[in-house]
Amino acid sequence: MQIETFKCNKIVRLKISNSLFLGNLGELEKAWREALSYSPEVIGLDFENVDFIDSSGLGTLVKFYNKSLELGFAMHLCSVSEAVKKFFERTRIDSIVSIITKEEFEKQYM
């Protein structure tokens, strides 16, 4: 997995590449902790280059979402591929976490 961090004022976007699964979630959690250190108002998780996510990855996203509620900032998933979007719809995460396009995220926050 590769993760690039983009920061603009109190907005952080994590661009994630490849797959999210139990074996590599430590990298994502490290990037998340770094993003939290900026005291963000918004964190966007850019899934444009994510081709697979397992149930452990899904659980991590729910944990991140709950942390965003606890700390009072917005969290969005953006640029989600069709395959991953279908997984989110089947697991109903799309009913709790905001999923928007990269363009919407950039227009609204960057």
Confidence grade of residue 73 (pLDDT, cut at 50, 70, 90): very high
Q: Contact 33/66 with Cβ under 8 angstroms?
A: no
> Could you tell me the pTM of the whole model?
0.93
Does pLDDT of 110 surpass 90? no
Share of the chain above pLDDT 90, in %: 94
Where would I find the beta strands (DSSP E) of the chain? Answer: 2-8, 11-20, 42-53, 74-78, 98-100
With tokens 């430590």, the residue in question is 26
Question: Residue 29: which residues within 8 A CB-CB, separation 6 or more?
Answer: 60
34 has pLDDT over 90: yes
Q: What are the chain's domains? A: 2-109 (3.30.750.24)
Share of the chain above pLDDT 70, in %: 100
